[in-house]
Amino acid sequence: MGLRSSTWLTALLVLLGLTVVGSVVPAPVVALGPGPTFDTLGDVDGTPVVSAEGLPTYPTEGHLNMTTVGVTDGITTIRALGLWASGTHRLAPRSSLYPPGRSTDEVTAENQQEFDSSIAYAEAAALNHLGLPTRVTVGTLTDDSPSAGVLEVGDEIRDVGGAPVTSVQALLDALAGTRPGEPLALTISRDGGAPREVTVTPAPHPSDPERAFLGITPATTPADGQRLSITLGDVGGPSAGLMFSLALVDKLTPGPLTGGRFVAGTGTINAEGQVGPISGIRFKMIKAQEVGAETFLVPAANCAEAASDAPDGLQLVRVGTLDEAVGALETLDAGGTPASCTG
C-alpha cells in the first residue's frame, strides 16, 4: 500500500471513529427551541386550564395561547449539530440550565415552584384588575417547608409580625424585615374560623441564605365561597403569568376579549399586574405562528429582541401591564391599532 493510500485510509478511519463517537456520546449542551403551546381559554385532557367557582362567568371566543421554550437534553453531538443547523434551535451549555452540583430533579422542582408562584400572581393580578375583594392565603407548601405542621394550604394570613397583610406584597415586605431562625408570629384564619396566632421559625431562603423563607407560595384569593383555579401539568417557569391573567379576565367579564382572534403571548406578571421579561422569545413566536396565531403579546422589555427576529406576518403587541394588555385586545376588537414593538 502506498503512502498516499495509507494516509487516506487513516483519515477515513478517524472520520468514521468521530462519526460513531458523535452519534453515541452525549454532548455537553442542550438545544433550546419552540416548545408546546396551550390555549388558556381551552381544556387540557378534559380539564379547563382556568376556571372560577362562586363568580359569574361568561362565554369566550378565539384563543389566548401561552407559549413555552422546549429544552432537548441528553443529545449527541451529531443531533446537536442537526438541531443547530435547522435554524429553529439554539445550543447552550448544559451547565447554564443544570448548574454543577444541582440535580435535574432539583432544577425541575425550582421551575415548578416558579410556575406555582406565577399562578398565584396571575390570579392576584386578575382579581385586582377586576376590583374584586381579596384575601392572602397559603397557596402551596414547599417540600421540607418550615411552615409544615403549622400552616395549611388555604389558611388566610391576616398579620405577620404585627404588620397587617393586605396583599402578597405586604406579606413579602413584612418578611423582608425578618431573619432566618427568628421565630415569627402570624395571625391566621382557617376554614372561616376565628383569627388565631401561630409561630413559624423561617429557614434560610434557598437562593439567598440571608433572607427568611416560610416555605409557602402566597396566593391572592377571592372572598369566601369563591375560588379561582389554574391547572396545567408538565410546565415550569413563570412566563405564563400574563396569559393566565388574561384568560381569567376574559372568563369573568362579558364579551369575548379576543374578538374571536387567535392571540398568543408570554410574560411574567406580579400581583400589581406588571408584566416582566422572559427568555426564548424567538422560539415562542415561531411556535405561535406555527399553530395559527395572528397576534403575539410581547413584554415591553422584550420588544427590541422580538422586533428584530419576528416571523413574517405575526403582529407584535407591546404590553407593560395587565391593564395595557386588556386595552390592547379591546383596541384590536374595535378595529384599532394597539402599541407595537416597532414604534
Asked if residues 322 and 126 have their Cβ atoms less than 8 Å apart, the reply is yes
Q: At what angle do helices 104-130 and 322-333 cross, to 10 degrees?
A: 70
Q: How far apart are CA 133 and CA 127, in angstroms?
A: 8
Print the SS3 string covering 265-305: ECCEECCCCEEECCCCHHHHHHHHHHCCCCEEEEEHHHHHH
Catalytic annotation, pick one of 117, 239, 245, 251? 239
Asked if residues 63 and 39 have their Cβ atoms less than 8 Å apart, the reply is yes
Residues in the chain: 343
Q: Does 251 qualify as catalytic in the annotation?
A: no
Write phi, then psi, for 322 (nearest 5 degrees): -65, -40
Q: Does 245 qualify as catalytic in the annotation?
A: no
The CA angle 306-116-271, to the nearest 5 degrees, is 70
Catalytic annotation, pick one of 117, 118, 167, 284? 284
Q: How far apart are CA 153 and CA 242, in angstroms?
A: 24
Residue 262, C-beta contacts closer than 8 angstroms, at least 6 positions apart: 62, 63, 65, 292, 293, 294, 295
Q: By three-state DSSP, how is residue 210 classified?
A: strand
Q: How far apart are CA 115 and CA 99, in angstroms?
A: 20
Q: Active-site residues: which are they?
A: 239, 284
